[in-house]
Amino acid sequence: MSEQNRMWYTGEISGDGGQRPIGLPATEAKRVLLFGGTFDPPHVGHLTMAQLALEQTGVDEVWFLPAPNPPHKQEIGDDTFGWRAAMVTALLEGRAGLRTMPIEEFLPRPSYTVDTVHACQLWYPDVEFSFLLGADSLEQLLTWHGVDELAKRVPFYVVARSGTSALTQVVNTLRERLPELRATAIEMPLLDVSSTWLRERLEAGADICGLISPAVLDLWHKGPQNEV
């Protein structure tokens, strides 16, 4: 099997018997919803998605998982990871049940979701995990590395911006290839905010219409070289 297509497993790679790395905090949560992304930058859409998911799923916590080196965005790397994680932390300041968890800092690159989920289950064995994603990501799920294993490991909560009927159709189609897929809709008002669009406006000096909080904006302008 080629290096590109292989799936590594955290327990085999770490050689530590599954002990959680120093630097990752303990948690009292029993049910956790994982929310991965580059968060470049994190914005009100991310916050709304996580808050509504927290309320509608009944989980104890939603963990934001910044990706150091996502395979679908090769231009993003470790050099900005600490900066993006710090911006997420600023976004979530004072919000109970929402927290930044730099799980992927301790994992090999690139960052594959299946491995991140495995690491969470290995390092937090008493926690029941699920995974949060948008409907557009669900439609691309078959392109994800190790998707069969991922579908076995966690159920998905999916933001259904255009109603649940379209989502049901997508799920039914995916189950023809992924019979173990479990997906539940999260209701969310139409709030189509793109980090790419916001980044372009920031770089152009244009108004961002309050879609990025002042604390996050302050860190953005400082840049990754001034990460605190």
Contact between 144 and 113 (Cβ < 8 Å): yes
Q: Is the pTM higher than 0.85?
A: yes
Neighbours of 47 (CB within 10 A): 18
- 157 DSSP β-pair partners: 132, 184
Rounded to the nearest 10°, the torsion over CA 79, 42, 87, 133 is -80
Q: Which of 37, 33, 68, 36 is nearest to 54 (CA)?
A: 33
Tens of pLDDT, residue by residue, the chain (228 residues): 334 444 455 545 454 557 889 889 999 999 999 999 999 889 998 999 999 999 999 999 999 999 987 777 766 778 889 999 999 999 999 999 999 999 999 988 887 899 999 999 999 999 999 999 988 889 999 999 999 999 999 999 998 765 566 788 889 999 999 999 999 998 887 667 778 888 888 889 888 888 899 999 999 889 887 654
Alpha helices of the chain — where are they, by DSSP H? 10-14, 44-57, 81-91, 113-123, 135-139, 147-153, 164-175, 195-204, 214-222
- 36 DSSP β-pair partners: 65
Scored b (16 or more CB within 10 A) or e, 170-185 reads: bbeebeeebeebebeb
pLDDT at 1: 33
Contact between 43 and 187 (Cβ < 8 Å): no
Looking at domain 27-226, does it have CATH number 3.40.630.30?
A: no
CA diameter of the chain: 50
- What are the tokens at 99? 């927290």
pLDDT at 226: 60
* Owner of token pair 């309320």: 55
What phi and psi values does residue 73 have, to the nearest 5 degrees?
Answer: -140, 75
Sketch the domain layout of the chain as residue ranges: 27-226
Contact between 89 and 65 (Cβ < 8 Å): no
Whole-angstrom Cα distance, residue 113 to residue 104? 9
* Three-state secondary structure call for residue 188: coil
